[in-house]
Amino acid sequence: MTDKSVTLGVNGSNFNYPVLDGTVGPEVVDIRKLYAQTDMFTYDPGFTSTASCESKITYIDGEAGILLHRGYPIDQLAEQSTFMEVAYLLLHGELPKKGELDQFTYTISRHTMVHEQLATFYRGFRRDAHPMAVLCGVVGALSAFYHDSTDITDPEQRMIASHRLIAKMPTLVAMAYKYTLGQPFLYPDNSLTYTGNFLRMTFGVPAEPYVVNPIIENAMRRIFILHADHEQNASTSTVRLAGSSGANPFACIAAGIACLWGPAHGGANEAALNMLREIGDVKRIPEYIARAKDKDDPFRLMGFGHRVYKNFDPRAKVMKATADEVLAELNIKDPVLDVAKELEHIALNDEYFIEKKLYPNVDFYSGVILNAIGFPTDMFTALFALARTVGWVAQWNEMIADPDQKIGRPRQLYVGATQRDYVPCDKR
């Protein structure tokens, strides 16, 4: 809290609103009393200037291209941390000591299996169902299986539900992939790392042993960490809003998955690789740059631009380096990577992109790596959801524990018809 305030003059009266400051980043004007005092709402479609909550989890400086999780820079975490370490950090606020990490990893590993009835649930879908459609259904359905962790007023139940969601997402995502192939589901193997276990459930078969490739395991570790959390983005805000009504955590995460699916958000990784493949050759890049700049053409460069970053998305930098490393280590030549690099180079030197501060975001290079590892494009957003579950769960816990939190209920600027009387059909 600062002793600063701002004054708003309304109809000849002055109203003062306190200015609150965080540890870093923009101050906020506390307008909670605005409507009661002035009978006016603020108007901020898309919440471009609105802080919806207080949080200690993730800080983004969009102008400087900085991303911190509990104060730790994303590039340091991606380079030196494990996904279990980052999950603990996001949930509990501090990097775990060895004993804490071992206990957390053990706890998560003991929740990796899912109820056998859930496997039957998958069989209700068409084999060509989009994995995100399956996840929306299956994750929401978890609340039908785990009644003992849906009382959100009980901190112990909240933590069990959190552990279950973090632990079961890799199993559920791998099952969604196996189902599209018509291959049998593999049970988790708790002797593997979180990432290694996911790779085995995804690419392994019961007919032979699966050996986790360390290059791929390291790439997936980084990709999961880069996607773990990102402040109050659309899907995280969806989870918080759903949670503010007291909905159970499984339903809240299913709501987050549904929101993430959109091509303007997590669906952009799938759309970006499809776009790069459609471009196909560096010679066709100018045609697509022109379309992206054409106001009459709805086409946008997928994987470019961001609501907050008006500089490089720090995750895109790590992702680009990882793409180079993984393709080299796997000895894969993918012309799409050349198209991506040339497209980035041309766009970043084009006045339109410079003026609008459009840079590659986390989704621009991730598809190149995921494709090299062997994932089909329709699995990309499911992988994003897998990783983002730790962030959603951390933010949901923070919201529930926030004494200021209440049910989210925005208002509106009404521009519809004023009151009028009903006209019977034969008189219209």
Distance CA 96, CA 58 (A): 17
Our finding on whether 362 is near ligand SDX (CB under 6 A) is: yes
Query: CA-to-CA distance for 78 and 237, rounded, in angstroms?
Result: 24
Range in contact with ligand SDX (rule: CB under 6 A) among 25-33, 137-145, 259-267, 405-413: 259-267
Q: How far is the CB of 114 from ligand SDX (least distance, A)?
A: 26
| Residue 258 binds to ligand SDX (criterion: CB under 6 A) | no
Is the CB of residue 237 less than 8 Å from the CB of residue 52?
yes
Q: Which residue of the set 111, 130, 313, 363 is catalytic?
A: 363
Alpha-carbon distance of 60 to 233, in angstroms, equals 11
Shorter beta-carbon distance to ligand SDX: residue 122 or 364? 364
Question: Quick one: which of 112, 150, 248, 361 contacts ligand SDX (CB under 6 A)?
Answer: 361
* Window 286-305: contact mask with ligand SDX (x via CB under 6 A): ------x-------xxxxxx
Query: Partners of 130 in the beta sheet?
Result: none
Question: Which CB, 146 or 304, lies closer to ligand SDX?
Answer: 304
Which of the stretches 64-72, 117-125, 141-149, 262-270 binds ligand SDX when contact is defined by CB under 6 A?
Answer: 262-270
Q: Does 67 bind ligand SDX (CB under 6 A)?
A: no
CA distance 14 to 29: 15
CB of 341 to ligand SDX, least distance (A): 17
For ligand SDX, the binding residues in 211-230 under the rule CB under 6 A are 230
3-state DSSP assignment of residue 219: helix
Smallest gap from residue 266 Cβ to ligand SDX (A): 6
Instruction: Name the residue nearer to ligand SDX (CB basis): 171 or 233.
Output: 233
Residues 6+ apart with CB under 8 A from 351: none
Shortest CB 46 distance to ligand SDX, Å: 6
Respond yes or no: is residue 363 known to be catalytic.
Answer: yes
Question: In this structure, what is the dihedral angle of CA atoms 69, 73, 74, 80, given to the nearest 10 degrees?
Answer: -110
Q: Which is nearer to ligand SDX, 55 or 109 (CB)?
A: 55
Which segments of 352-399 are extended strands (E)?
A: none
302-to-47, 73, 175, 365, 369 alpha-carbon distances in Å: 22, 25, 28, 11, 16
Choice between 88 and 364, CB closer to ligand SDX:
364
Question: Nearer to ligand SDX by C-beta: 46 or 209?
Answer: 46
Tokens 């955590």, residue? 249
User: CA–CA separation, 358 vs 356, rounded Å?
Assistant: 6
Which CB contacts under 8 angstroms, 24+ apart, belong to 155-160? 158/249, 158/397, 158/400, 159/397
Pick the binder of ligand SDX from 358, 372, 379, 385 (CB under 6 A): 358
Interface region with ligand SDX, contact rule CB under 6 A, candidates 35-43, 135-143, 245-253, 360-368 = 360-368
Strand partners, 18: 5
How many residues touch ligand SDX under the rule CB under 6 A: the total is: 22
With tokens 């589901």, the residue in question is 185
| Candidate list 108, 247, 268, 276; residue touching ligand SDX; CB under 6 A | 268
214-226 helix and 380-401 helix, angle to the nearest 10 degrees: 50
**Smallest gap from residue 351 Cβ to ligand SDX (A):** 13
Distance CA 169, CA 386 (A): 5
Nearer of residues 216 and 272 to ligand SDX, judged by Cβ: 272
Question: How many CB atoms are closer than 10 A to CB 174?
Answer: 24
Token pair for residue 66? 């900085």
Q: What residues act catalytically?
A: 306, 363
- Binding residues (CB under 6 A) for ligand SDX: these are 46, 230, 233, 264-266, 268, 292, 300-308, 356, 358, 361-363
